[in-house]
Amino acid sequence: MSNKNYLLSCEIKHRIRGRIRIKSRALKYLGELKEEVEKQLMQVRYIETAYISQITGSIVIYFEDITLTDQNLISLLQNTLNAYLVEIYKNEKIANGSKYVIERKLQEESPKEIIQKIVASSMLLVYNIFRPSVPTAIGLSRFLNYNTLATLSLAMPVLRNGLLSLVKNKRPNADTLSSSAILSSIALGKEKTALTIMILEEFAELLTVYTMQKTRGAIKDMLSVGENFVWKEMGDGSVKRIPIEEVQRGDLILVQTGEKISVDGLIQKGEALIDQSSITGEYMPVTKKRGEEVFAGTILKNGSITVEAQKVGDDRAVSRIIKLVEDANFNKADIQSYADTFSAQLIPLNFLLAGIVYLATRNVQKSLSMLVIDYSCGIRLSTATAFSAAINTGAKNGILIKGSNYIEELSKSDTVIFDKTGTITEGKPKVQTLQVFGKRMTENKMLSLAAAAEETSSHPLAIAILNEMKERGLNIPKHQDPLIVVAKGMETTVGKDIIRVGSRKYMEENNVSLEETQETMRGILHRGEIIIYVAKNEELIGIIGVSDPPRENIKKAINRLRNQGIDDIVLLTGDLRQQAETIASRMSMDRYESELLPEDKAKNILKFQSGGSKVIMIGDGINDAPALSYANVGVALGSTRTDVAMEAADITITSDDPLLVPGVVGLAQKTVKTIKENFAMAIGMNSFALVLGATGILPAIYGSVLHNATTILVVGNSLKLLKYDVNK
């Protein structure tokens, strides 16, 4: 995805009192959003009328002529369009994707159908080789026999598309060239040449189609989520277990403690503590009540709620993602678009060469050689195969790549931006520091008392304390039922003592003195840890420092990225400055930005891009979605990534292994290198064949063999990407 800033650039074309016309590229690609944008602008005070012309890419605004400046109006327009920028960008890609020469879609025929055509053509070729030669006059009669009609029938898809390109696109394509060669061969009585051309071209296309089909299968296997069931509340108040696929919009879904929420919707009944780490990027659970929104993939830690489903069926992210990948023709890489355009521009050259050779030699056979040898097939098929093979290799390794353009963008990137929680770190806090106060207090005793208060809590910090206690083999002392003090802490009674565990504010409210903790606190905060206080009655007995440890191999992944040519590695996070500074220093990152809102991350992406950087953004949650969308390439990492992040991202890595980030960058670099090799081989060998054909050294049938052998060679070179090891 290229830098979207250019879409919002504005130019004032005309201005008079109370009226202005502004031109902006984004206005051309609003599509169905046109009326919505006009209405939004007209809701602004002082704006009387706004009319957008998508044909000219301009807007006419009538306004009350008060203190509004030109810059005020431009800023208003840009801010309004900015909300729709991702959709505008997609519309632009679709529009640009339709500008290239019409080529036969490789997905139109299955491998089975192509194999059947190859077998039929081969049998007809064998028949032509061994049948007695019957002289036939050149002309229409050549086309009026069973043998020729069978050949034409097998060539019909090529002939049809070659003619379609001339009629609709007003220019020839690769099939137009092949059609000319096939028809010329038949007219000259060279059915064997025509069939050879068809067989070799079909074989080359078979390799490409086979790769694409394998890729689609690998993607669907990767996205398969198996059978998911939910509990649906029926009209009579009973509850029924049904598959997630049967959930309808408006259904009431019951979710209880420990279950994963399976639908996006609104809470209609109940209250619960929900772990939204996969959504907000933070590991602190939040309390959700009636009327509040919940998201699929989040976990209900405590409580019970009834959710009204709002997104079901084809609205589910996985369904949309599969469609996005299957429609990835619109997401062509620049190099793939260049391959299509370059090969299309060379097709008329073949016709020109055929005419020149015929005028110079009056030899139909030599001019026919100019038609059977072209650059288009090798360049176009090998490029499509290379990208498809790369996407297939990614899918087999749990990496979903939504289009070939993202592969090329990856290969050119020089800046990688990481989110912190769940991306750099595991999103699973652990106890790092224990500090006790009081002569008779020990770490184990303080930890056991803290665990007594936290025993029934599902809060990640409580779980960290309980896990530490279990690792030490400690037992929880007998105690009364713990009491939750919302947003502050927990308390219980052990014997005659009240044990409180929680925040500094909670301690101060209960008259617990914290004076002697200042030095310890500074050290814990310097290490980027969260402080939990433990008190017995009104006496502080300990401090527990908890932090979210870095993912395994994340440092190694960052080092590999640097070796691949990534110059700038940056941390963007919503966490506090001290925590961000600690993790950035530990990971040897070049810089960091802390305490950022989701929109702040997106603005930072645009700032890097405005300086000429090609940016990869790596995140895992809804809070990362804007930045993932604005980056040149957005990567959603990890098994806890959200559906929203997965849809916003251009590439999704389904495992928790950060080494797959440099793995997919290496795959992208290898893919582009392979395509450039194919360009060189296809142009070199076909140019050599054209020279031999023009001089009469290479007959048309052997020219076809050499040309198609070159095509098969470069397609085969692309297929080597299926064996690429992303883990090396």
Question: What CA–CA distance (Å, rounded) separates 349 from 227?
Answer: 56
Q: How many Å from the N-terminal Cα to the C-terminal Cα in the chain? A: 26
CB atoms closer than 10 angstroms to residue 437: 18
Task: Please answer whether residues 279 and 297 qualify as being in contact, where contact means their C-beta atoms are separated by less than 8 angstroms.
Answer: yes
Extract the tokens encoding 409: 């963008």
Q: What is the CA radius of gyration of the chain?
A: 33
How far apart are alpha carbons 7 and 440 in whole angstroms? 68
Give yes or no for a contact between 421 and 460, defined as CB atoms under 8 angstroms apart. Answer: no
User: Any catalytic annotation for residue 419?
Assistant: yes
Phi-psi region of 576 (alpha: psi -120 to 50; beta: other; left: phi over 0): beta
Q: What is the DSSP letter of 538?
A: T
Query: What is the β-pairing status of strands 264-275 and 293-294?
Result: antiparallel
Strand order through the sheet with 489-494: 430-436, 539-547, 530-536, 497-502, 489-494, 483-485
Of 25, 31, 47, 640, which Cα lies nearest the Cα of 39?
47
Q: SS3 for 197-241, per residue?
A: HHHHHHHHHHHHHHHHHHHHHHHHHHHCCCCCEEEEECCCCCEEE
- Residue 78's closest CA among 115, 40, 114? 40
Measured at the alpha carbon of residue 504, what is the angle toward residues 502 and 508, in degrees to the nearest 5? 105
Taking the C-alpha atoms of residue 434 and residue 439, their distance in angstroms, rounded to an integer, is: 15
Q: Which of 419, 548, 656, 657 is catalytic?
A: 419
Spatial separation of the C-alpha atoms in residues 311 and 592, rounded to whole Å: 36
Contact 412, 5 (CB under 8 A): no
Question: CB atoms < 10 A from the CB of 167, how many?
Answer: 8
660 φ/ψ angles, rounded to the nearest 5 degrees: -75, -15
Please name the amino acid found at residue 488.
Answer: K
- Cβ-based neighbour number of residue 505 at 10 Å: 12
Helix or strand run (H / E) with residue 14? strand 10-16
- The b/e string for 659-691 (b: 16+ C-beta within 10 A; e otherwise) is bbbbbbbbbbbbbbebbeebbebbbebbeebbe
**HEC string for 360-395:** HHCCHHHHHHHHHCCCHHHHHHHHHHHHHHHHHHHH
How many beta carbons lie within 10 A of that of residue 541, not counting itself?
A: 23
In contact, 420 and 573? CB cutoff 8 Å: yes
> What residues pair up with 265 in beta bridges, in sequence order?
294, 309
Work out the angle at residue 477's Cα, subtended by the Cα atoms of residues 476 and 479, and round it to the nearest 5 degrees: 110
Q: How many Å separate Cα 328 from the centre of its chain?
A: 11
Task: Tell me the one-letter amino acid at 479.
Answer: H
Strands (E), 461-605: 483-485, 489-494, 497-502, 530-536, 539-547, 568-572, 591-593
* Residues acting as catalytic residues: 419
